[in-house]
Copies of this chain bind each other. A is one copy, B any other.
Amino acid sequence: MDPSLNPFIKPQGVVVVGASSNPSKLGYGVARNLVNSGFKGGIHFVSQRKGNLFGRPVHVSLQDVPDPVDLAVLIVPAPAVTSVLKQCQERNIHAAIVISSGFKEIGEKGALLEDEMSRKAKEANIRLLGPNCIGLLDTHYPLDTTFLPPPMPVQGDVAFISQSGAICAAIIDWARGQGIGFSRLISMGNQADLTETDMLTAVAEDENTRVLTFYIESICNGPQFVKEAARISRIKPIIALKAGRYESGQRAAASHTGALAGQDNAYQAAFEKAGVFRAKSSEEMFDWASTLASCPLPTGRRIAVLTNAGGPGVIAADALEAVNLSLAQLSPITIEKISTLLPPAAGLNNPIDMLASASPQIYAECLDLLLSDGDVDGVMVILPPPPMHSAEEIALSLLSVINGSSKPVVIALMGDQLIKNASLVFRKARIPEFRFPERAASALAVLAARAEFLEKVDQDLPRPSNLNLPASLKILEGISRGTWLDQSSTMELMENYGIPVPDARLAVDAKQAEEIAAKMEFPVVMKIASPDIQHKSDVGGIMLNIRTRQEAEQAYNILISTVKGSRPNAVLEGVHVQKMVPEGQEVIIGSIRDEQFGPMIMFGSGGVEVQGLKDISFKLAPLRESEIEDLLNSTWAGKKLHGFRNIPSADADVVKDILNRLSWMMMEISIISEIEINPLRVFANGAVALDVRVKV
Contacts and interface: CB of A to CB of B under 8 A. Distances in A.
Contacts of A435: 174, 283
A311 B166 contact: yes
Contact of A173 (B106, B247, B419, B646): B419
A415 B180 CA distance: 13
Interface of A: 24, 26, 29, 101-102, 105-107, 110, 147-149, 162-167, 169-171, 173-178, 215, 217, 243-247, 280-283, 308-312, 314-315, 317-318, 321-322, 344-345, 356, 384-385, 387-388, 414-419, 435-436, 438, 605, 608-609, 611-613, 615, 636, 639-640, 644-647
Given A148-B387, A165-B309, A246-B322, 17 more contacts: A29-B387, A102-B345, A149-B387, A164-B314, A166-B310, A166-B311, A167-B311, A169-B384, A170-B312, A245-B318, A245-B321, A246-B318, A247-B317, A280-B438, A281-B436, A282-B436, A608-B645
Given A176-B416, A244-B318, A385-B149, A636 B608 contact: no
Contacts of A101: 345
Nearest to A608: B645
B385 A244 contact: no
29 contacts: A26-B387, A101-B345, A102-B345, A105-B345, A106-B344, A106-B345, A107-B344, A149-B418, A162-B311, A165-B309, A165-B311, A166-B312, A167-B315, A169-B385, A170-B385, A173-B414, A178-B416, A246-B317, A282-B436, A283-B436, A605-B613, A609-B636, A609-B644, A609-B647, A611-B644, A611-B645, A612-B644, A613-B613, A613-B615
A387 B417 contact: no
A417 B149 CA distance: 11
A231 B318 CA distance: 30
A644 B311 CA distance: 46
Contacts of A163: 311
A344 B101 CA distance: 12
Nearest to A101: B345
Contact of A309 (B166, B322, B436, B636): B166
A185 to B, nearest CB: 14
A173 B421 CA distance: 13
A609 B640 contact: yes
B415 A174 contact: yes
B173 A418 contact: yes
Contact of A612 (B148, B417, B636): B636
A176 B318 CA distance: 25
A260 to B, nearest CB: 14
Contacts of A164: 309-312, 314
A36 to B, nearest CB: 16
A460 to B, nearest CB: 30
A650 to B, nearest CB: 14
A31 to B, nearest CB: 15
Q: Which of A167, A175, A244 has the most CB of B within 10 A?
A: A167
A-B CB proximity, top 3 nearest: A164-B311, A166-B309, A177-B416
A175 B612 CA distance: 43
A41 B175 CA distance: 47
A402 to B, nearest CB: 21
Given A167-B311, A244-B318, A311-B215, A387 B281 contact: no
Nearest to A169: B385
A644 B173 contact: no
A24 B311 contact: no
B147 A387 contact: yes
A563 to B, nearest CB: 19
Nearest to A163: B311
Contacts of A243: 311, 314-315, 318
Nearest to A243: B314
A322 B322 CA distance: 18
A612 B647 CA distance: 11
A649 to B, nearest CB: 13
Contacts of A322: 245-246
Nearest to A416: B177
A7 to B, nearest CB: 26
A261 B174 CA distance: 42
B311 A417 contact: no
A344 B414 CA distance: 47
Nearest to A385: B169
Nearest to A318: B245
B311 A217 contact: yes
A395 to B, nearest CB: 15
A47 B345 CA distance: 25
With most chain B CB atoms within 10 A of its CB, the pick from A170, A612, A645 is: A170
Given A344-B106, A345-B102, A613-B613, A167 B644 contact: no
Contacts of A436: 281-283
A309 to B, nearest CB: 3
A436 B167 CA distance: 11
A448 to B, nearest CB: 18
A309 B162 CA distance: 13
A317 B245 CA distance: 9
